[in-house]
Homo-oligomer: A and B are copies of this chain.
Amino acid sequence: MRETSLEQLNSATRAEFVAALADIFEHSPWVPEAAAAERPFATLAQLYEHLKAALLRAGEDRQLAVVTAHPDLAGKAARAGTLTPQSTAEQASAGLDQLSEPEYAAFHRCNEAYKARFGFPFIICVRRHTKDSILQALERRTKSDAATERAAALTEILRIVALRLDQRVRAPDRLAVHGRLSTHVLDNLSGRPGEGIALELFELSRAGERRLIARAVTNDDGRTDAPLIAGRPIPTGVYELRFAIGDFYARTKEALADPPFLDVVPIRFSVAEPEGHYHVPLLCTPWSYTTYRGS
């Protein structure tokens, strides 16, 4: 699935190397070019560190050029379909390609305010965020000062770069850009894992919308066969897990209240560390449950 390998990058000509990574920094092939001479790289992490160093040792002007090479989030270019393929996919990951008119207007207004204040576009690593958390960051950061925001822009660019690299290059290692969301159901009635329990994961927005992210059924260890989210950052935001324990107990136990005291159990929680491991288990009986951030 990944287009190239670290080995290929190491043995490629300089031109091939630059071409393979030309769009890792938005419209800025000079960054990989500046790192090409450092080859070979033993690990993907090493490649990343050299790209990072190349950006950071360039002067402020060239850094600013990278910053301004980025498109507006949910901006005109996005609407016109003139973004790079990477940017298009990234913006879609947070649903920025499907904004309502009022949302589009809000983004436009905030983007303009940010640019008016700092002279460069607002940059954020979209894959680590939800629509809500992007808009919130945009509002918060618009009140910041120029030095802080220049630093913030570089930090976010490096996060974008790390994710792009991790998706592009096969290597013995992976970059630390992945979060993980998992669950586990323990049935305290039987002292055994809760097997065959249907569950759904929703992303919730402030506006009251609910987006289905994953759907699964617990296996005989009370877990889902695959983590609910893995191999990518978990967007900062609010989630709700819903466990259909009423159906489970209706199958395994005769005499329940009608309707059962607990049927669909919702657990609402927020993610603040997109690269963190969030384990959100449920210990339950027909009359009680416990949840917690596990490990």
Contact = CB atoms under 8 A, between A and B. Distances in A.
B261 A295 contact: no
Contacts of A237: 259
Interface stretch (A47-55, A167-175, A182-190): A182-190
Nearest to A286: B191
B266 A266 contact: yes
A287 B257 contact: no
A91 interface: no
Interface string A47-87: 00000000000000000000000000000000000000000
Contacts of A238: 259, 263
A29 interface: no
B259 A188 contact: no
Contact of A292 (B188, B236, B273, B291): B188
A193 B279 CA distance: 11
Contacts of A263: 238, 268, 270
Contacts of A236: 259
Given A270-B260, A272-B259, A287 B222 contact: no
Nearest to A272: B257
A148 interface: no
Nearest to A260: B270
Given A193-B295, A270-B263, A295-B193, A288 B258 contact: no
Given A189-B285, A222-B295, A290-B289, A270 B261 contact: yes
Interface in A201-242: 221-222, 236-238, 240
Interface of A: 184, 186, 188-193, 221-222, 236-238, 240, 257-266, 268-270, 272-273, 283, 285-295
Across the A-B interface, give the 7 residue pairs with the lowest CB-CB distance, nearest first.
A191-B287, A288-B292, A259-B270, A191-B293, A188-B288, A257-B272, A290-B290
